[in-house]
Structure 1
Amino acid sequence: MLSRLSAISRYFTSSAAAQNSSNMSVKNFVEDTITSHKITVFSKSYCPYCRRAKTLFKDKYPDADIGVIELDERDDGSDIQEYLRQKTGQGTVPNIFISELPSFIPIRVYKLTSSTDQQHIGGCDDTMSLQNSGKLAGLITA
């Protein structure tokens, strides 16, 4: 009986540790991705709002360093979306960030760590509003 309890205890402990490790790797992946690109778009390939935002960046800012993560094409996509919801309060896609990484400093030399080094733009409507007001270009070229 005691050995069964030990085995059950080990299972739940290892499951919790694996979940914690998975959460940490999702967090690390998201944060590293955001700080590795000037613009990061967390997207779903079939989403019309995501397509609209990605098209805007491609057409208006073709030279910008854009990272696109298609959540529906990843095994951990729902975990990433949940982490983004916790981080930003936004549970929908696209979920767009602009990093304040100076374009003249290589990423391997300059590693952003604090959340003040990135700006959460929001979704498609937020991005379009910034574009229409002329503010998006200023954020991207900053």
Structure 2
Amino acid sequence: MSLESTIEAKIASKKVIVYSKSYCPFCAKAKKVFEKYIADGTLKADEYEVIEIENDPQCSAIQEYMKKKTGASSVPRVFINGKFIGGGDDVVSKDSSGELKSLLTA
């Protein structure tokens, strides 16, 4: 299976997928928001997956594909219900506006 099909299958397999790097402050911001929704029961733990890519031998290729798919190669790249919703600041902003909770309960 190609890298692209592996990524697409992964995105389709969970309600929320976050492509991340463990040391990235924007990734930490986004993950903290989702942890809040897991704690309150809005998001089930098995519907959420974080993929830390910095030690993946295909890290550069993953970021290259993300650039093609989402317009940027930076992390985090956050997908909800198969749709790209943005990065760390986007997650925080959508959380503040209530949009994130709507996406999670849709």
User: Normalising to structure 1: TM-score of the pair?
Assistant: 0.67
**% of aligned pairs identical?**
44
Q: Is contact 1:33–1:67 with CA below 8 Å preserved after alignment?
A: no
- The answer on whether the counterparts of 1:90 and 1:122 sit within 8 Å (CA) in structure 2 is no
Q: Retained in 2: the 8 A contact 1:96–1:120?
A: yes
Matched positions, count? 101
Distance in 2, Cα, partners of 1:43 & 1:85: 14
Is 2:52 aligned against 1:88? no
Unaligned runs of 5+ in 1: 1-23, 100-117
User: RMSD in angstroms over aligned alpha carbons?
Assistant: 1.2
Contact 2:29 2:92 in 1 (8 A): no
Correspondence list, 1:10-29, <5 A: 25-29=2-6
**Post-superposition CA distance 1:52-85 (Å, at most 9, x none):** 1111101223443111111102111111111010
Which of the pair has the greater relative contact order for Cα pairs under 8 Å at 6+ separation? 2
Matched residue of 1:73: which SS? coil
Structure (1 or 2) with the larger CA radius of gyration: 1
Amino acid at match of 2:101: A
1:42 aligns with 2:19: yes
1:138 and 2:98 matched: no
Q: Distance in 2 between matches of 1:73 and 1:56?
A: 24
| Residue correspondence of structure 1 range 1-142 to structure 2 within 5 A | 25-62=2-39, 63-64=43-44, 65-99=47-81, 118-142=82-106
Separation in structure 2 between the aligned mates of residue 67 and residue 53 of structure 1, nearest angstrom: 12
